Amino acid sequence: MAEELKLFRTWSSPYSLRVVHALKIKGLEYETIFEDLSSKSASLLQYNPVNKKVPVLVHNGKAICESLVILEYIDETWKQCPLLPRDPYEKAKARFWAKFGDEKLSSSIWNVLISQGKEQEEAIAAAVQNLKLIEEQLQEKKFFGGEKIGYLDIAFGWTANLISILEEIIDLKLVDEEKLPLLSAWMQNFSDDPVIKQCWPPRDKLVVKFQAMRESNLKTVLSQ
């Protein structure tokens, strides 16, 4: 049966990028529909009526939403190049850290972007502490998944891309090679992977986007 795969995404959404990475690693053909979130398409609203967000993967007409749910769906449906570990405990740990990444880590990184001065110093300290916890999960492996990119690498992938952009905008180093050597190496290895490399959104556009986010959030704080 011919598989029909569609991915609703935006050019910059790191959550959408996770799905792109998984589909490419599995060698799957799919159609991309780029959304403009200020003017959502009827299809997106039909496929994701609850959250009205990207990414949405549509497989033979059935919609799957929420990037981590989509990753597990892809892994369970197409068995080549497994993403999640086989062992139940390793799987549980991968899921735990992916959730940590999406909750504690990402909000601490966001706080660094939208703050300045003393507040930013505190935000950086908190973010670095979270990054250290992530680094501990790497141990001496090349990737979180071991020798190959796996679920947790894809889940953390946004850090490999966006942290350096944040660093450029605030002109401060967050992932210092000396303080976070393993994480630093991982970011390089992940970014250099040929499958991942071809998917990064245009860097200059991302810098502009995040710079604008920083400015509008700082302005809001100052006017309060």
Binders of other proteins among residues 91 to 120 (CB under 8 A) are 91-92, 95-96, 99-100, 104
| Binding residue (CB under 8 A) for other proteins from 9, 21, 59, 214 | 59
Q: Is 45 in the site for other proteins (CB under 8 A)?
A: no
Q: Which is nearer to other proteins, 63 or 207 (CB)?
A: 63
In whole angstroms, how far apart are CA 16 and each of 65, 120, 166, 174? 10, 28, 19, 24
| Binding residue (CB under 8 A) for other proteins from 3, 4, 76, 119 | 76
| Binding residue (CB under 8 A) for other proteins from 11, 30, 73, 200 | 73
9 pairs with which residues across the strands? Answer: 34
Burial class (CB in 10 A: 0-12, 13-18, 19+), 180: buried
Q: How far is the CB of 105 from other proteins (least distance, A)?
A: 11
CA-based end-to-end distance of the chain? 58
Can you tell me the distance from the alpha carbon of 179 to that of 115, in angstroms, rounded to the nearest whole number?
22
Q: Which is nearer to other proteins, 88 or 194 (CB)?
A: 88
Kindly list the strands in the beta sheet with 56-59, ordered across the sheet, starting from the edge strand earlier in the chain: 31-34, 5-9, 56-59, 62-65
Q: Is 34 in the site for other proteins (CB under 8 A)?
A: no
CB 150 within 8 A of CB 143: yes
Q: Which is nearer to other proteins, 34 or 96 (CB)?
A: 96
Binding site for other proteins (CB under 8 A): 50-51, 59, 62, 64-66, 69-70, 72-73, 76-77, 88-89, 91-92, 95-96, 99-100, 104, 133
